[in-house]
Chains A and B, each alone.
Chain A
Amino acid sequence: MQTKQLTFNHRWLPYLLLAPQVIITAIFFLWPAAQAMYQSLLRQDAFGFRTTFVGLDNFTALFADDLYLNALKVTLVFSLGTTLLSMSIALLFAVMVNRMLRSRDLYTTFLVWPYAIAPAIAGVLWWFIFNPSIGILPYLLEMLGINWNHRANGNHAMILVIIAAAWKQISYNFLFFLAGLQSIPQSLIEAAAIDGASRLKRFWTIVFPLLSPITFFLLVVNIVYAMFDTFGVIHATTEGGPAQATNILVYKVYRDGFVSMNLGSSAAQSVILMAIVVVLTVIQFRYIERKVNY
């Protein structure tokens, strides 16, 4: 990694400058992460009196545990659902806004602010709209013959949390798609138009492929968001229920660690989650490396 050609010479000043960042990182990031790895190899008895070293038992127990396998599946459905819903709506909006000239900024303003809403609040808002007794949507759905009840029906609960999580993320995806669309040279599209390609065909054969780096980047960012930043959506609404239907991995780590006090298992789950973040971060940065260098 480069520095400036010309640099300052100082024996201890750079360390002093780095100290606050590095100390906070060491105490509140690295040490707890190391602790999680260490605790994942231990098992505490129910009263916390005795701790025994159990090797990888916590991990093997997890993968034999139906509840954990269920949480994996739920997380997969939730992340993919949130990502696809949010990205496809955002792409549609971005394509439409990109065609506007005078109204572009106005539409953008109307579409960016949900970014400011906390996931927990997004959850509460949709929880309220979908409320089986007073909500507006269940009332409309009933006319279609659907008896909405996210307190009893796992699928309904999943749809609810996906919509809440995706809604908040539309702004983010929209801004990146719009920036991507604006960087596509107009001449390419005009050339295709002269050759008689229809609007739809131009989109799928020219615009969409040229957007693919941004699409891929957003895919990773959205999966990270859905997996790790949506704790509030779940905790403030379904609390993982009904019957584990929305118990995503991050929520389960919290429950097992704080509510059931199962520290060994919670630590093992933390370690697995860390591995997932590491993989996703590496994918993201390898891609960005390429984007910066071309």
Chain B
Amino acid sequence: MVENDRWSRMLAHAILILGVALVIFPVYVAIIASTHDGQTFLSGTLPLLPGTQAWQNYTTVIFEGRSRAGTPPIAQMLWNSFIMAMTIALGKIAISLLSAFAIVYFRFPFRMFFFWIIFMTLMLPVEVRIVPTFQVVADLGMLNSFAGLSIPLIASATATFLFRQFFMTIPEEMLEAARMDGAGPLKFFRDILLPLSITNIAALFVIMFIYGWNQYLWPLLITTDPGYYTIVMGIQRMVTGGDSEPLWHLVMATVVIAALPPILVILFMQRLFVKGLTETEK
């Protein structure tokens, strides 16, 4: 029996409530700031209670943008982020399913060689090879395009390993039965492996969507045309864009909108998210 007295439980709750408050605090401040008008920020400290300008601010950033501060309407940027995140997530899942299938269900020369090539991607994040990767994308004429934004990022060792691990747990009898019924490799993949992998695919999708949505350095490098800006990198342009103090109420409205889609994904798919996060790290 472990003691679990009232007071220590109260203390634990107190610490947690304080902790949660601290964790939420920055976002709370952002939401509050996005409901005030620009004047508020010129006069001293930010208020901690909501203002009345929310509707005004949000419609401004979404549909009008502020050309003076160098930002197009964010509706376009949101759409770009969405396309980029979806392409990256689905692309990673598709090509990783295929390569895991090849590695687990076939024996062929150079199998290990290919496995190591895929493994190498883990050791070469884009941050460590910025300039030469930019040069390759530029040489291929992929600057300022959705292909350039997404394709270079869809190679994935973690996704391949996850699917490999999962395929290894599928009983041998599945393949035996399928072969007895005369199913070829592609039919086996489509009718047996894919349906069995749905949960893993969904879990991975949650993680990879967030990964794609939150890309920053990559769109920063390869887009110069505002028509291809993504929302997360667009915020930086708003903060450091002009010479004057940023228009904080509009910046914070944009921050709230930019953070919302991935947060909603996590909150509504928490179970899948936790599964995806813990499994991909194995």
Q: Which residues of A contact B (CB under 8 A)?
A: 1-8, 10, 13-15, 17-18, 20-22, 24-33, 35-36, 39, 89, 92-93, 96-97, 99-100, 103, 107-122, 124-129, 133-136, 139, 167, 170, 172, 175-176, 179, 186, 189-190, 193-194, 199, 217, 221, 228-229, 231-232, 235-237, 239, 250, 253-254, 257-258, 263, 266-267, 270, 273-274, 277-278, 281, 288, 292
- Interface assignment of B166: CB less than 8 Å from any CB of chain A: no
- B interface, over-half SS: helix
Whether a CB of chain A sits under 8 angstroms from the CB of B244 is no
6 contacts between A and B (CB under 8 A): A24-B151, A24-B154, A24-B155, A36-B131, A118-B216, A128-B26
Say yes or no: B127 contacts A25, CB within 8 Å.
no
* A25-B120 in contact given A107-B16, A199-B8 (Cβ < 8 Å): yes
Inter-subunit contact B123/A274 (CB<8 Å): yes
The docked-state distance in angstroms from the alpha carbon of A97 to that of B24 is 17
Chain B interface residues (CB < 8 Å from chain A): 1-4, 8-9, 12-13, 15-16, 19-20, 23-27, 29-30, 33, 41, 44-46, 48, 94-96, 98-99, 101-108, 111-112, 114-115, 117-118, 120-125, 127-137, 140, 151-152, 154-156, 160, 168, 172, 175-176, 179, 184-186, 188, 210, 213-214, 216-217, 220-221, 232-233, 235-236, 239-240, 245, 248, 251-252, 255, 258-259, 262-263, 265-267, 270, 273-274, 277-278, 281-282
Closest Cβ of chain A: how far from B159's Cβ, in Å? 9
- A118 touching B107 by the CB < 8 A rule? no
Instruction: Return chain A residues, CB-CB under 8 Å to B155.
Output: 21, 24-25, 28-29
Knowing A124-B239, A270-B130, say if A113 contacts B267 (CB, 8 Å). yes
Q: A6-B175, A17-B99 are in contact. Are A193 and B2 (CB under 8 A)?
A: yes
Q: Which residues of A contact B156 (CB under 8 A)?
A: 21
Name the one of B25, B107, B213 contacting A3, with C-beta atoms under 8 angstroms: B107
A20 / chain B contacts, CB cutoff of 8 Å:
94-95, 98-99
Q: Which 6 A-B pairs have the closest CB atoms?
A: A116-B262, A118-B214, A35-B132, A32-B132, A17-B102, A273-B128
With a cutoff of 8 Å between Cβ atoms, the chain B residues found around residue A30 in the complex are 117, 120, 124
A288 to B280, CA, bound (A): 12
Q: Are A274 and B128 in contact (CB-based, < 8 A)?
A: yes
Query: What CA separation (Å) do A175 and B122 show in the bound complex?
Result: 22
What residue of chain A has the Cβ atom nearest to residue B232's Cβ? Answer: A118
Q: How far is the CA of A288 from the CA of B99 in the complex (A)?
A: 22
Query: Could you tell me the distance in whole angstroms from the C-beta of A202 to the nearest C-beta in chain B?
Result: 8
Q: How far is the CA of A143 from the CA of B255 in the complex (A)?
A: 29
Interface contact A21-B96, CB-CB below 8 Å: yes
Nearest CB of chain A from residue B46's CB, rounded to whole Å: 5
Chain A nearest Cβ from B35, distance in angstroms:
14
B2 near A28: Cβ-Cβ < 8 Å: no
Q: Which residues of chain B are within 8 angstroms of A22 by Cβ–Cβ distance?
A: 99, 114, 117-118
> In the complex, how many angstroms separate the beta carbon of B40 from the nearest chain A beta carbon?
9
Known: A179-B278, A231-B127, A277-B123. A3 touches B27 (CB 8 A): no
Please determine whether A270 and B123 come into contact, CB atoms closer than 8 angstroms. Answer: no
Q: Considering the complex, give the chain A residue whose CB is closest to the CB of B261.
A: A116
Q: A29-B120, A116-B265 are in contact. Are A92 and B15 (CB under 8 A)?
A: yes
Q: Which single residue of chain B is at the shortest CB-CB distance from A170?
A: B23
How far, in angstroms, from A135 to B29 measured CA to CA in the complex? 10
Q: Considering the complex, give the chain A residue whose CB is closest to the CB of B98.
A: A17
- Report the separation of the CA atoms of residues A114 and B134 in the bound assembly, to the nearest whole angstrom: 30
Q: Which residues of A sit under 8 angstroms from B277, Cβ to Cβ? A: 115, 172, 175
